[in-house]
């Protein structure tokens, strides 16, 4: 085994790929001015950041979480082996790493670090956490993101019940040494170790209350810059500075109030009344004004796609002609320019811009537009397909429901799509908004016909989008199983360079030609941060990090 510094490994990763970059809903009014003012006054000797998390996370347990909102909290309360700072991957709990000549075995050497209760962070905590994510009997349900660990030897077999967890190649050699063996060389593996599924958790804490430990301030511990000190469901999560964090000298904020204001217009009113410091969900009708008048308004790039999913087992969308007709009958350019208004781009495929192939070309551009016109609807082709499916001019088309999670923008887009389908195809669909956790469960268990969805990249490789649709993926909400697709994705994991990307292109061709999703637009992220907040971070994959921020 050859000793390499983490710096050298990271340089090699950057040569392979350029880093370019997943939604809780209880409607809550902002606290009255006096309440927020009191919060600031009570802590005027320290500093308080008031941030609109917007939705109540389904969970903030690293191994159970699969959504962006929970991910934001986890990214500030936990720390993995690596962390992205200023757009670059840096050592975090791992102080150094050895990588074998064949690129299969990683040996991480942990720095001296403590949990928020003062106990040391150990390699055993990482081994326990990663194997916990792979446990098919995990309480309350198997981890949706377990497939992100399938790069590790024995991981997939353990999750599918074909092997034992103790046989997975994740071994704590001692308190400070973690050894991991992969199935094949994976150039972005180090980046994965900074993702929330890979965060450490401690067995003695988790096993006392497997379902609720993370949101119970009396039980929760963490190893990141902040710790959970209060959790009011539907209202806020309070994070306070973790004095035992290994890099505590760089943590300048004493407290974060993460509020759960669902309505974008309400949140903007609070921001403009100086009751919020950070928001990243804005009412679309206000974007032109904010762009022109407010210097704190900005539109950030975001590696992700906004789309609708079809339950391929439910009529009438079990018919590919119906799915294709619905997909062709919407005007993406109009949705982007007249409704979303945040610089979004019409989506003609699933993988968004910003992810590169082996030749340094954008994967999205090389893949092409498939059958979708980014500038308008293909009405005649859509009508022909619907007629072939047995619904000429929409006659006899059953009444179906589109579900979406509660948010003003989602509602506006759903209403626009509903009207386009009515005008262009002669069909009528119902719309139903659901709280975020309810919507997630409905999708996950297949209790829908058409549903709004969105996916944000977790690391800078097209695989971050494409492994979503593997038959065993915990996030394959389309309920779609395709052997050929699985073979392309699995085969790509054993290859490198152009051969690997050749299989990834073929995989996307299969899922797009099968039309399991209806891409709408590629994300951007309008956001606003008060000028007094300095050195805040938003990772290239879209996660907030306040571990080095300050408030003037």
Say which CATH number the domain at 426 has: 3.10.105.10
Residue 407 lies in a domain: yes
Looking at the structure, do residues 357 and 462 belong to the same domain, yes or no?
yes
CA–CA gap between residue 502 and residue 125 (Å, rounded) = 38
Q: Is 504 helix (H, G, I), strand (E, B) or coil?
A: helix
Could you say which of 223, 246, 276 is where a domain stops? 223
CA–CA gap between residue 373 and residue 332 (Å, rounded) = 8
**pLDDT per residue over 107-136, tens digit each?**
999 999 999 999 999 999 999 999 999 999
Number of domains within the chain: 2
> Measuring CA to CA, which residue among 112, 149, 115 is closest to residue 130?
149
Looking at the structure, do residues 329 and 197 belong to the same domain, yes or no?
no
What pLDDT sits at residue 189? 96
Q: Quick check: 309 and 454 in contact, CB under 8 A?
A: no
Could you say which of 178, 195, 223 is where a domain stops? 223
Residue ranges of alpha helices (H) inside 258-407 are 264-272, 287-293, 320-328, 332-334, 363-367, 379-388
Q: Quick check: 188 and 461 in contact, CB under 8 A?
A: yes
Residue 158 lies in a domain: yes
Q: Quick check: 200 and 127 in contact, CB under 8 A?
A: no
Res. 480: pLDDT tops 50? yes
Residue 312 lies in a domain: yes
Looking at the structure, do residues 378 and 487 belong to the same domain, yes or no?
yes
**pLDDT per residue over 295-304, tens digit each?**
999 999 899 9
Q: Who's near 540: CB < 8 A, 6+ residues apart?
A: 19, 20, 21, 84, 87, 303, 460
Give how far the C-alpha of residue 265 lies from the chain's centroid of Cα atoms, to the nearest Å.
24
Lowest mean per-residue pLDDT among 18-27, 243-252, 375-384, 456-465: 18-27
Looking at the structure, do residues 397 and 506 belong to the same domain, yes or no?
yes
**pLDDT per residue over 331-381, tens digit each?**
999 999 999 999 999 999 999 999 999 999 999 999 999 999 999 999 999
> Measuring CA to CA, which residue among 372, 529, 539 is closest to residue 464?
539
Looking at the structure, do residues 215 and 329 belong to the same domain, yes or no?
no
CA–CA gap between residue 40 and residue 255 (Å, rounded) = 10
Could you say which of 201, 223, 245 is where a domain stops? 223
Residue 217 lies in a domain: yes
Q: Mean per-residue pLDDT for 424-449?
A: 96
Res. 45: pLDDT tops 70? no
Looking at the structure, do residues 219 and 304 belong to the same domain, yes or no?
no
Looking at the structure, do residues 510 and 420 belong to the same domain, yes or no?
yes
Over the chain, what is the mean pLDDT? 92
Lowest mean per-residue pLDDT among 22-31, 321-330, 514-523: 22-31
Residue ranges of alpha helices (H) inside 241-398 are 264-272, 287-293, 320-328, 332-334, 363-367, 379-388
Question: Torsions phi, psi of 497, nearest 5?
Answer: 60, -145
What pLDDT sits at residue 460? 87
Looking at the structure, do residues 213 and 308 belong to the same domain, yes or no?
no
Looking at the structure, do residues 347 and 211 belong to the same domain, yes or no?
no
Strand ranges, E, within 278-428: 278-279, 297-310, 345-346, 400-405
Q: Quick check: 229 and 256 in contact, CB under 8 A?
A: no
Cis peptide before 111 (omega within 30 of 0): no
Count other Cβ atoms within 10 Å, centred on residue 225: 27
Looking at the structure, do residues 337 and 449 belong to the same domain, yes or no?
yes
Residue 358 lies in a domain: yes
Q: What is the dihedral of CA 474, 479, 480, 485, to 10 degrees?
A: 0
Q: Quick check: 464 and 457 in contact, CB under 8 A?
A: yes
What pLDDT sits at residue 106? 98
Q: Which domain range does residue 422 map to?
A: 300-525
What pLDDT sits at residue 17? 34
What whole-number percentage of the chain has pLDDT above 90?
A: 87
Rounded to two decimals, what is the model's pTM?
Answer: 0.83
Q: Who's near 35: CB < 8 A, 6+ residues apart?
A: none
What pLDDT sits at residue 6? 52
Strand ranges, E, within 506-545: 517-529, 533-534, 537-538, 544-545
CA–CA gap between residue 178 and residue 181 (Å, rounded) = 10
Residue 544 lies in a domain: no
What whole-number percentage of the chain has pLDDT above 70?
A: 92
Residue 368 lies in a domain: yes
Q: Mean per-residue pLDDT for 319-339?
A: 98
CATH number of the domain within which 187 lies: 3.90.76.10
Looking at the structure, do residues 218 and 318 belong to the same domain, yes or no?
no
Residue 252 lies in a domain: no
Q: Is 58 helix (H, G, I), strand (E, B) or coil?
A: coil
Looking at the structure, do residues 75 and 195 belong to the same domain, yes or no?
yes
Confidence at 4, pLDDT banded by 50, 70, 90: very low
């Amino acid at each position: 085994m050859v000793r390499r510094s983490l710096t050298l490994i990271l340089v090699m990763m950057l040569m392979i790929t350029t880093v370019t970059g997943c939604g809780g809903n209880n409607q809550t009014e902002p606290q009255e001015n006096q309440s927020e003012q009191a919060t600031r006054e009570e802590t005027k000797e320290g500093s308080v950041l008031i941030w609109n998390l917007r939705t109540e996370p389904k969970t903030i347990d690293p191994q159970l979480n699969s959504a962006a909102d929970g991910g934001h909290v986890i990214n500030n309360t936990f720390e993995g082996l690596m962390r992205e700072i200023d757009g670059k991957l840096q050592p975090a709990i791992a102080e150094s790493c050895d990588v074998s000549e064949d690129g299969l075995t990683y040996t991480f050497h942990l720095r001296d670090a403590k949990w928020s209760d003062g106990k040391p962070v150990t390699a055993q905590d990482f081994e326990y956490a990663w194997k916990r994510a792979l446990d098919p009997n995990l309480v309350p349900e198997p981890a949706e993101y377990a497939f992100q660990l399938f790069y590790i030897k024995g991981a997939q077999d353990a999750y599918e019940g074909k092997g034992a967890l103790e046989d997975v190649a994740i071994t704590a050699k001692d308190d400070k040494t973690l050894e991991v063996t992969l199935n094949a060389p994976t150039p972005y593996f180090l980046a994965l170790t900074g993702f929330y599924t890979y965060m450490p958790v401690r067995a003695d804490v988790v096993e006392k209350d497997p379902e609720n430990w993370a949101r119970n301030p009396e039980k929760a511990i963490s190893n990141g810059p902040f710790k959970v000190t209060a959790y009011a469901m539907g209202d806020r999560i309070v994070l306070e500075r973790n004095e035992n964090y290994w890099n505590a000298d760089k943590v300048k904020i004493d407290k974060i109030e993460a509020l759960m204001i669902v309505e974008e217009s309400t949140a903007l009113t609070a921001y403009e009344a100086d009751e919020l410091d950070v928001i990243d969900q804005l009412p679309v009708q206000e974007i032109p004004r904010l762009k022109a008048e407010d210097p704190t308004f900005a539109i950030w790039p975001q590696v992700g796609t906004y789309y609708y999913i079809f339950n391929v087992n439910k009529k009438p969308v079990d018919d590919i002609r119906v799915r294709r007709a619905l997909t062709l009958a919407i005007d993406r350019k109009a949705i982007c320019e007249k409704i979303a208004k945040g610089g979004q781009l019409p989506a003609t495929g699933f993988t968004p811009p910003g992810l590169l192939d082996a030749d340094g070309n954008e994967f999205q551009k090389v893949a092409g537009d498939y059958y979708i016109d980014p500038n308008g609807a293909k009405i005649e082709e859509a009508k022909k397909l619907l007629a072939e499916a047995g619904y000429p001019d929409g006659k006899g088309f059953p009444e179906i429901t589109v579900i979406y999670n509660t948010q003003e923008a989602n509602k506006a887009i759903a209403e626009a799509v509903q009207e386009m389908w009515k005008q262009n195809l002669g069909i009528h669909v119902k719309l139903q908004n659901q709280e975020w956790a309810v919507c997630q469960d409905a999708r996950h268990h297949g209790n829908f016909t058409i549903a709004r969805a969105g996916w944000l990249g977790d690391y800078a490789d097209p695989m971050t989008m494409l492994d979503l649709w593997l038959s065993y993926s915990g996030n394959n909400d389309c309920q779609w199983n395709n052997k050929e697709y699985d073979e392309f994705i699995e085969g790509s994991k054993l290859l490198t360079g152009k051969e690997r990307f050749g299989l990834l292109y073929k995989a996307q061709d299969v899922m797009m030609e099968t039309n399991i999703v209806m891409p709408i637009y590629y994300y951007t992220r309008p956001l606003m941060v008060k000028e007094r907040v300095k050195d805040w971070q938003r990772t290239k994959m879209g996660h907030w990090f306040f571990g080095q921020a300050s408030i003037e």
